[in-house]
Amino acid sequence: MSNDEEAPNYEDPPPYNDLDQDEILQPVVLLLAGQSIVAETAVAETADSIPLYKLNRGIASLTHASQKVDFERVQRTIKMGSDGNPTIRTRDRLIYNLRHQRTSTGGLEPLPSDSPYYFIESVSTTTRAIGNLGIKKLHFRQHWKVLPVDVSGKNSKAGVPQFLKNAAPVFEIDYSQNRYEWLDAKGQAIAVESDRGDKHRLIVMASLPQQTMDALPIHEGMEGVRRKFNLVKDL
């Protein structure tokens, strides 16, 4: 990944009130900070004090036995106080579960090739349109596809979640020139990963609907788990 990727000049984090899932959100720099994902300003190189998203467990605390991480969106509303000054109120809303499976049901057999090691499970009506997604690596390239996943396992011989057959990718991830680049379903670049010092960032370069924006940082959480356990070959 590139250490000198320049972040766009975003002076203020965008409003993430998520009242409308079709609302178009502006480009933003997302920073994974412990159990929070925050919007970072390029001017002060500091993070907005209110997270955009939260994980119920920090990446550093996860082990190979960890099977689920809750992923919440922090919803913001602005209320006017009795003194006439605005105050920001927040409410955490569970939108995805990050799931980890290493073996088939029973724990004796390895996962089939059509099943993801890591996938996100939609648990909110606001993320239902994007749905459940997993990452699948191509065998001969540093390239991954983010594909729809059937979490029921009813069509799997092993009885575990599997990629939907012949489904088109929702995103693709390409590794080239020492960086990971995220592409949308049309092949257009929408985000790049950037490491600067000990901080990991996802630089979102395109304006995206709320539900699409929600799916990017949860995959960043998945990427954080993958990097920690060095499981690139497994994905």
Place 2 in a pLDDT band, splitting at 50, 70 and 90. very low
For 96, the token pair is 């995805």
Would you state the pLDDT for residue 231? 44
Q: With helix as H, strand as E and coil as C, how does 93-157 read?
A: EEEEEEEECCECCCCCCECCCCCCCEEEEECCHHHCCCCCEEEEECCCCCEEEEEEEECCCCCCC
User: E strands of the chain, at which residues?
Assistant: 24-25, 28-33, 36-39, 53-55, 68-80, 86-100, 118-122, 133-137, 143-150, 162-163, 171-176, 179-183, 189-196, 199-204, 208-209
Question: Any residues with CB less than 8 A from the CB of 188 and at least 6 apart, and which?
Answer: 206
For 177, the token pair is 């020139």
Three-class SS state of 44: coil
Chain center to CA of 120: 9
Distance CA 171, CA 174 (A): 10
pLDDT tens, residue by residue, 174-218: 988 888 899 999 999 999 988 776 677 889 999 999 989 998 887
Distance CA 202, CA 80 (A): 33
Distance CA 5, CA 192 (A): 9
Mean pLDDT of the chain: 79
pLDDT tens, residue by residue, 105-118: 666 778 888 999 88
Integer angstrom CA distances of residue 17 from 13, 101, 111, 145, 207 = 12, 33, 39, 29, 16
Integer angstrom CA distances of residue 2 from 59, 127, 146, 154 = 21, 31, 22, 42
Residue bearing the bigger pLDDT, 80 or 198: 80
pLDDT tens, residue by residue, 134-160: 989 887 778 999 999 999 989 888 889
DSSP state of 52: S
Residue 233: Cβ within 10 Å count: 6
**What is this structure's pTM?**
0.77
The domain spans of the chain are 24-229
Residue 152: Cβ within 10 Å count: 12
Q: What's the half-sphere exposure (Cβ side, CA atoms, 13 Å) at 88?
A: 11
For 43, the token pair is 């001017």
pLDDT tens, residue by residue, 85-102: 888 888 999 999 988 887
